[in-house]
């Protein structure tokens, strides 16, 4: 299978003409359940490659990678993070989940809490939800905007456009500093969400994952889809692209995400640090000293 071609299909780096309805949540790029072995192998390869590349990322200590996950409930953010990152060294990764902002967080601009968890050089930072909630849940529920501590005169009809602009600028700032930004929208169908909610209700070990609030949010499905479409249109750029990943089949979601991350890291042309002549000499001396012991 041509991975390049598959990734191209889901990558959105010019948002202008983006339409969510051109993307099928059940798409598997022609792979069906009979090709699952091939898919499994590709996922395994992706996980292995990620592990290899992360090692160089950390050694070189020059680039960083910020990975953002956004999706409707039960689209598989947690499972994707768990599976895709299963091979990487935990010391080089930080996963941060963003919930309803606390009092302290609301006392700052909305990029404050996320900036604190942006990855350092040599590291991978994963956001399970992000500042994009500020143009998603906050847009769908105007009362949330009212609860934010913003001076009244600053909340105008332009607020969403302003936020898109600030988000783009923030992402450009990060990339200009050597922190690459890659964003995933796990695109789930309404039908599959219902099936997964039912499964959570019917399976005792999955009950904990269910929250009544999720069913309430499901009631705002269309408004969320619109908010996602608009946000992706306004923030899909060459320097911080979105990937609209079909999410009705978990095995496929994981495959696409792992391969997209591999591609992103490969594009950095990472290299282990080159040891200088003087350093080589010092290594030789250290070696001789150990041999003499
Ligand atoms: P979960 O990821 O299921 O634990 O849920 C976290 C909840 O926090 C979701 O319902 C999000 O919509 C909500 N949330 C995250 N960020 C924000 C934000 N900036 N403003 C309001 N709600 C948020
Ligand atoms: Mg939830």
Closest-CA residue to 119 (of 140, 87, 142, 88): 88
Q: Are 216 and 102 in contact (CB under 8 A)?
A: no
Positive or negative, the CA dihedral 258, 264, 269, 273 is negative
Ligand 1 atom nearest the C-alpha of 97 is 2
Ligand nearest to the CA of 214: 2
pTM of the predicted model, to two decimals? Answer: 0.96
| pLDDT for the residue numbered 48 | 96
Query: pLDDT averaged over consecutive 10-residue blocks of the chain (293 residues)?
Result: 91 97 96 80 94 98 98 98 95 97 96 98 98 98 94 96 98 98 98 97 94 95 98 98 98 96 97 94 96 96
| Separation of alpha carbons 131 and 146, rounded Å | 17
| Separation of alpha carbons 213 and 151, rounded Å | 29
The edge-to-edge listing of strands for the beta sheet with 242-246 is 11-12, 242-246, 179-187, 64-71, 124-128, 93-97
| pLDDT for the residue numbered 35 | 77
| Separation of alpha carbons 209 and 202, rounded Å | 11
Mutate to test the pocket of ligand 1, among 76, 99, 103, 211 (most ligand atoms within 8 A of CB): 99
| pLDDT for the residue numbered 82 | 97
The tokens for 152 are: 């009244």
Ligand nearest to the CA of 133: 1
Residue nearest to atom 12 of ligand 1 (CA): 137
134 lines ligand 1 (CB under 6 A): yes
Q: How far is the centre of ligand 2, averaged over its atoms, from the C-alpha of 283 (Å)?
A: 52
| pLDDT for the residue numbered 58 | 98
Q: How far is the centre of ligand 2, averaged over its atoms, from the C-alpha of 39 (Å)?
A: 28
| pLDDT for the residue numbered 184 | 98
275 lines ligand 1 (CB under 6 A): no
Q: How far is the centre of ligand 2, averaged over its atoms, from the C-alpha of 186 (Å)?
A: 14
| pLDDT for the residue numbered 37 | 83
Q: Please, which residues have CB within 8 angstroms of residue 152's CB and are 6 or more apart in sequence?
A: none
CB-based burial of residue 115 (10 Å sphere; 0-12 exposed, 13-18 middle, 19+ buried)?
A: middle
């Amino acid at each position: 299978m041509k991975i390049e071609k598959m990734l191209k299909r889901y990558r959105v780096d010019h948002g202008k003409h983006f339409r969510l309805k051109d993307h099928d949540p059940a798409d598997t790029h022609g792979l069906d359940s009979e090709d699952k072995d091939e898919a499994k192998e590709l996922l395994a390869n992706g996980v292995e490659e990620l592990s290899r590349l992360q090692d160089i990322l950390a050694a070189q200590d020059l680039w960083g990678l910020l990975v953002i996950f956004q999706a409707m409930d039960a689209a598989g953010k947690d499972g994707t993070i768990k599976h895709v990152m299963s091979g990487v060294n935990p010391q080089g990764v930080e996963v941060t989940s963003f919930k309803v902002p606390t009092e302290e967080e609301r006392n700052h601009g909305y990029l404050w809490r996320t900036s604190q968890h942006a990855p350092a050089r040599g590291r991978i930072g994963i956001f399970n939800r992000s500042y994009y909630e500020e143009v998603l849940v906050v847009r769908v529920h105007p009362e949330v905007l009212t609860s934010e501590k913003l001076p009244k005169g600053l909340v105008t009809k332009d607020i969403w456009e302003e936020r898109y602009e600030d988000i783009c600028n923030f992402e450009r700032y990060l990339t200009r500093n050597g922190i690459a930004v890659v964003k995933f929208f796990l695109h789930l169908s309404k039908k599959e969400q219902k099936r997964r909610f039912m499964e959570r209700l019917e399976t005792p070990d999955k009950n904990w994952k269910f929250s009544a609030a999720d069913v309430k949010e499901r009631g705002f499905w269309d408004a969320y889809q619109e908010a996602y479409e608009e946000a992706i249109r306004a923030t899909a750029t060459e320097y911080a692209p979105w990937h609209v990943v079909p999410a009705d089949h978990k095995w496929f979601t994981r495959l696409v995400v792992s391969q997209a991350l591999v591609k992103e890291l490969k594009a950095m042309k990472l290299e282990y640090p080159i040891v200088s002549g003087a350093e080589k000499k010092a290594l030789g001396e250290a070696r001789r000293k150990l041999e003499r012991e």
